Structure 1
């Protein structure tokens, strides 16, 4: 086949998405950096043109990346940020100066690299995947900007993730738990060995609190490559936290100073931990001994947002979105609900991807939910609602489960249950709907709810 015939330039975001989605899907992995290395080499190795902060871990990558980005921008550095997956639009994956690329800029980023994708495809055993292509686009867009620092979130794992063609100045290891076991190994230690692959010779490594087995694996890697590590709970951490209206107030101990009573407009102990990790990451990146200016730290954290992470998108009834998609994330979500919210009843809308531990996720949420409406997102990766319903009935009992396959109908059903239960309970608190189970489900729900909200509604 003539490769030039494929190289029709894409003119719209929809055409770019089609071109990207025709490639190997994100979930298909092959443990090799050969294709992405060939691709970035053709692009002039843009990822070597700026320092890189590289984040991995089972949960918390996107929220922490957003905090790191916000803090760096408060220090007047120009940032690039690469995150995945996206909540609503593919453009969210590549941000410059804290804002996703515009549709036009995303199309331009794709057309800039498209000719080189075909050169790699022609030489390699397998064509470049969707993910590899977007990683190449991001690294090239950051070089074009140009950025002072790139904040790069691993797609999956570490060693063999396409982002690992970049060498981390600062490598960040968020909590490691079981997820993607099919691809990364069946124990946290096996997964940690894969994730620790982002630690490179000379990296400074910021390590969130880990289980003993994981901490040992990370320490081995740090020693092996001659990196230097700082540990949550030893070198930095959350000194105190208390829930507050619209989020929480935290006392953060950084590597160089303590920052008391910082307002963080996100809910849950896990977000306080992410904030401590983000602070230590920025301190490690900057080097030196002087504490950051207190007012800069406060101003930065006060404006952090993380869409789809315990995000209230509507009132009356309240609808909360959370992208928890594994038991570890669901446990953090359940703790945050208990900590910060008093919804009665709370009705879940849950849709999961087929490759996840949905039983563990449902079990973690069961004590917090009065009723669960199981549904499915419109992707072929979604577990059919009927299958999820069968597991949910075992966890919750028949009387607390409804199966509503279409997500829009599931949201309506849950809202009706929340409002009816609210009227019946006679309590002063009010009913609410929690949408969770996957980033895809949350993204689809967010589009539906935010689009249909009346003018002047709460964001």
Structure 2
């Protein structure tokens, strides 16, 4: 299967030339006056140096001009050709490869934090980005600097041109970024790379390495037009990252998906560690700013782990991340015993996952969550109910048109008192009117407000949350798309 359409991937509102984004710039002047948590969240601002900013924008525009993957045949030929010219940088370091439907980026961030706590130099490649394209490539726990991002592109540009000239189709947006990441990791150099697939697994551009650890986060229905109509069908594609003799860290899965993964593991002589069997969440308690966990790893129990993220799903992501790092170090197989518990605690306490149940404003509280499919919506609904206990919750929802939008809305129906439907700035966005028609069917006419402009939608939701004293405990949840969350983040002054 092909990776996502590159236009699916671009969510940096500041770098597009779309004139509709004037609403973001205008709206931000109002919304940035509102109170909210301080910055320092791992999302880089635009470069302060005008020349660097100009150069970064130029690189972004060149990447945007690349062919959409939807026009390309499922193939690794182009990636393999590029990496061959680059000297196969992906072979210069071991990797942990992550696929699944939901939770990949949060799990990757946790794995990165754990490896860093053990003084390993790390590279992390994730997608899509929330606000800045440089978020996708991280070195030692921080997004790559703009200057280094530009250099990474310029360094491999001649080889991109050579590959383009040799192939039937040019390299795609995602393929070029993947090549940049692998080359940047080799140049750093890193001790280990943590790599998230773009979509699927077998034909994903990232799947050109022999990762000794393969991580499969929960599989659910998403991208069904490309990956399959059932979790089992989707698992066939995602199991493609399991390599000969690897260790597979398998999160809790639907039965048909688990069967596919276990069969693939047998075929590749891989070792499997299953959540709920070889590792898992021992216990969890709600805590101020997150949750307190006991995690059962491959080597034993790790107690009093504070995770500054909300929701049971993040606790399960933490268990998966810990098992992945234990497997990387050989715990549970060649090596017995726990990893250093204090280092594990320090690592998890430092984890950030922007745009995932993230509080960006107070009075009233505004939370952002990038849920974009029914499974993600159900996890977000459970998390916000458990962690915040709002007396009244207003939803702001902007989705892409190619998702199971009805399923997403149904996941939030029990918890939203009212929903403000809107749309983000990209061509993939479902129009506010079309979204409203679906929302009325799910919520009823009296609970749906339509505000096509995202800045107006945020203002309306905040006003609804503030309007009556009896709702002093009211909150706002912005959701439906990474793109919507990224643009809301910008409007609320978080970049």
TM-score, with structure 2 as normaliser: 0.87
Aligned partner (choices 268, 278, 281) of residue 235 of structure 1:
278
Partner of 1:408: 455
Q: CA deviation at 1:432?
A: 1.1
SS of the residue corresponding to residue 334 of structure 1 reads helix
Aligned partner (choices 31, 44, 56) of residue 87 of structure 2:
44
Answer yes or no: is the 8 Å Cα contact 1:312–1:320 preserved in 2.
yes
SS of the residue corresponding to residue 346 of structure 1 reads strand
Aligned partner (choices 172, 176, 184) of residue 219 of structure 2:
176
Mapping of residues 193-342 of structure 1, within 5 Å: 193-287=236-330, 288-342=335-389
Aligned partner (choices 132, 137, 140) of residue 89 of structure 1:
132
Aligned partner (choices 459, 466, 472) of residue 419 of structure 1:
466
Partner of 1:149: 192
What are structure 1's unaligned runs of at least 5 residues? 1-9, 453-459
Cα 1:29–1:405 change in 2 (3 A) is: farther
Answer yes or no: is the 8 Å Cα contact 1:11–1:107 preserved in 2.
no
Answer yes or no: is the 8 Å Cα contact 1:117–1:133 preserved in 2.
yes
SS of the residue corresponding to residue 413 of structure 2 reads helix
Aligned partner (choices 394, 405, 419) of residue 358 of structure 1:
405
Partner of 1:434: 477
Residue by residue over 1:428-453, the C-alpha shift from the partner in whole angstroms, topping out at 9 and shown as x without a partner, is: x511111000100000101110259x
Mapping of residues 104-119 of structure 1, within 5 Å: 104-119=147-162
Q: CA deviation at 1:112?
A: 0.8
Partner of 1:456: none
Residue by residue over 1:42-71, the C-alpha shift from the partner in whole angstroms, topping out at 9 and shown as x without a partner, is: 111000010010000000000000000000
Partner of 2:50: none
Answer yes or no: is the 8 Å Cα contact 2:249–2:272 preserved in 1.
yes
Partner of 1:455: none
Number of aligned positions between the proteins: 439
Partner of 2:104: 61
Q: CA deviation at 1:30?
A: 2.9
Answer yes or no: is the 8 Å Cα contact 2:97–2:196 preserved in 1.
yes
| 2:432 is the alignment partner of 1:398 | no
Return the alpha-carbon distance in structure 1 between the equivalents of residues 152 and 418 of structure 2: 45
Residue by residue over 1:220-245, the C-alpha shift from the partner in whole angstroms, topping out at 9 and shown as x without a partner, is: 10001111110000000001111111
Return the alpha-carbon distance in structure 1 between the equivalents of residues 155 and 432 of structure 2: 41
What are structure 2's unaligned runs of at least 5 residues? 1-52
SS of the residue corresponding to residue 382 of structure 1 reads coil
Return the alpha-carbon distance in structure 1 between the equivalents of residues 173 and 70 of structure 2: 10
Q: CA deviation at 1:141?
A: 0.1
Answer yes or no: is the 8 Å Cα contact 1:25–1:130 preserved in 2.
yes
SS of the residue corresponding to residue 105 of structure 1 reads helix
TM-score, with structure 1 as normaliser: 0.94
Cα 1:250–1:365 change in 2 (3 A) is: same
Task: Give RMSD over aligned pairs.
Answer: 1.2
Q: CA deviation at 1:107?
A: 0.5
SS of the residue corresponding to residue 349 of structure 1 reads strand
Residue by residue over 1:365-390, the C-alpha shift from the partner in whole angstroms, topping out at 9 and shown as x without a partner, is: 01011110111110111111110110
Return the alpha-carbon distance in structure 2 between the equivalents of residues 418 and 243 of structure 1: 24
- Structure scoring higher RCO (CA < 8 A, sep ≥ 6) equals 2
SS of the residue corresponding to residue 197 of structure 1 reads helix
Return the alpha-carbon distance in structure 2 between the equivalents of residues 52 and 413 of structure 1: 46
Partner of 1:14: 57
Cα 1:171–1:138 change in 2 (3 A) is: same
